[in-house]
Amino acid sequence: MNAIDVHGLVKRFGDKTVVDHVTMTVAEGEIVGFLGPNGSGKTTTIRIMCGLLTPDEGNGTVLGFDIRTDALRIKREVGYMTQKFSFYEDLTIGENLEFVARLYRLKPVEQYVARTLEELGLASRRNQLAGTLSGGWKQRLALAACIMHKPKLLLLDEPTAGVDPKARREFWDEIHRLAGGGLTVLVSTHYMDEAERCHRISYISYGKMLASGTVDEVVRNAGLTTFVLHGPRLDQVAAALQGRPAVDQVAPFGATLHVVGSDKAALEKALAVVEKEHKDVTVTPGETSLEDVFIQFMSGSKDNMA
């Protein structure tokens, strides 16, 4: 059974379609990354999946429960970490978790709280006020609060926004540990390194699902070619390349220039001209990155915030 199995989801706000026939399946124990520009419909899709919003069209199941008729059951079995999670800043870590345990009617409260503190390495900070925690610890507390009732599916909405790299890495180690224990995770993020830590990713833009698969599959299916340029005065080369029909992206990376295009032959032709005009510039084939692919997707779609 798939943990998430939804088909043709549509959600409109007024005359705006913000989720446009979204289909998604997530297998049990899988970690799936949900990516897409601001306003593309990630949060809205997640809210439909956890039973907080009813879709205008489409149907499906989450943990085997119908998203239209069993929303209450879904809410009980899912751990949802909202994009702007919050807790009581003037309560301690322990008190915040006790509060959540009572909300879920978990009994005995102390046992649930103690086990969760232990599991997430929060025990030594139990009596610290939540408001005095650093970003990484706040996020760990938020994760603790949403796994305490032992959900089978975690829906995490940008859980690591604004958290430093070390804390993010530890958070992801934790996610993998939880998935190893059988938990399924759907996690939205804007970070490429996080996308690469997922088993699979889905990319949504303007409400439409544009790509799904492993990172390698998504990069391969995008059909882009990348070249790396070395040499002096690359800023002039960049200016010359910018806007040529064969050239979709030009971006400086340190002392090199990455040039990306979807028509390999045309791109090679354009770069051959560069090599002729700038004798000291060398052109070598490069690897297309996931970020290159996403930038390409974004330039091809309408402005989501418009």
Ligand X SMILES: Nc1ncnc2c1ncn2[C@@H]1O[C@H](COP(=O)(O)OP(=O)(O)OP(=O)(O)O)[C@@H](O)[C@H]1O
Residue 169 or 190 with smaller CB distance to Mg ion: 190
Q: Is 54 in the site for ligand X (CB under 6 A)?
A: no
Interface region with Mg ion, contact rule CB under 5 A, candidates 28-36, 41-49, 96-104, 145-153: 41-49
**Interaction residues for ligand X, span 172-211 (CB under 6 A):** none
- The distance of closest approach from Cβ of residue 255 to ligand X in the complex, given in angstroms and rounded to an integer, is 32
- Regarding 296 and contact with ligand X (CB under 6 A), the answer is no
Question: By CB under 6 A, is residue 149 in contact with ligand X?
Answer: no
Selected range binding Mg ion among 10-18, 69-77, 81-89, 100-108, rule: CB under 5 A: 81-89
88 binds ligand X (CB under 6 A): no
Residue 13, contacted partner among ligand X, Mg ion, none, CB below 5-8 A by kind? ligand X
Residues 14-53 vs ligand X: string with x where CB under 6 A? Answer: ----x-----------------x-xxxxxxx---------
25, 43, 212, 226: residue in contact with Mg ion (rule CB under 5 A): 43
Beta bridge partners of 159: none
- Contact partner at residue 41 from ligand X, Mg ion, none, CB < 5 to 8 Å by partner kind: ligand X
List interacting residues with Mg ion (CB under 5 A): 42-43, 83
Chain residues that interact with ligand X, rule: CB under 6 A? 13, 18, 36, 38-44, 83
